[in-house]
Amino acid sequence: MNISNIKNVISIRKFKLFLSIGFLVPVVLVYSTNIFESYLFNISKHFYAGFFIAIYLIIMIYWELKRPYFIQYIDEGDKITFRFYSLLIIGRKYKAYEIPKNSFKSFSIKMFFFNREESIILSRKTPTGIVDYQPLSLSAVSEIDRIKIKESLLKIVT
């Protein structure tokens, strides 16, 4: 089974691009013209620019808190492979987990972001004990693909 959330990743990136353009245009208009200052409520153009920037920052912080990841899950052959990278602006690193099916112990689901988003934690048996991998946020993975990943991992565990 090969599951990838590349379509969701592309739509998230498009959304962020259009959001940036959508908030940049009003800020440029505020500072390059007197439309906002003379026709609307007689408020300073700095207030309008600050208002647009504040809304933009709130939306971007919301997306940063969701911690979306590109995830590709492959369970073909004798290995489980998770390839992933963060969609955050800062700290993007391309990583992969390859776990032999015979040493895969378990997985757990942890809720975060006000119990609205899921992250998955994989566990592996090693000669020195059990190792838990870094949690992977499933916030950018569709609900159907989340269910498929969980069912596939359950089959491997049992």
- Looking at the structure of the chain, the number of domains it has is 1
- Residue, of 92 and 153, whose pLDDT is higher: 153
110 and 121 Cβ atoms separated by less than 8 Å: yes
27-50 mean pLDDT: 79
Instruction: For residue 111, name the pLDDT band (cuts at 50, 70, 90).
Output: very high
Per-residue pLDDT, 93: 86
Lowest mean pLDDT segment, chosen from 40-54, 114-128, 139-153: 40-54
| Residues 60-104 pLDDT 10s | 999 888 889 999 999 999 999 999 999 887 777 899 999 999 999
3-class secondary-structure state, position 49: helix
pLDDT tier at 110 (50, 70, 90 boundaries)? very high
Share of the chain above pLDDT 70, in %: 96
Report the percent of the chain where pLDDT is more than 90.
Answer: 69
- Average pLDDT over every residue of 40-60: 86
pLDDT of res. 39: 66
CB-based burial of residue 108 (10 Å sphere; 0-12 exposed, 13-18 middle, 19+ buried)? exposed
**Domain enclosing residue 141, as ranges:** 1-158
CA–CA gap between residue 97 and residue 79 (Å, rounded): 10
DSSP-assigned letter for residue 133: P
Question: Which pLDDT band holds residue 156 (cuts at 50, 70, 90)?
Answer: very high
Residue type at 87? L
CA 53 – CA 45 distance, rounded (Å): 12
- Mean pLDDT score of the chain: 91
- The separation between CA 108 and the C-alpha centre of its own chain, rounded to angstroms, equals 19
Q: Name residue 111's beta-bridge partners.
A: 118
- At position 36, the amino acid (one-letter code) is F
User: What is the H or E stretch that residue 126 is in?
Assistant: strand 117-126
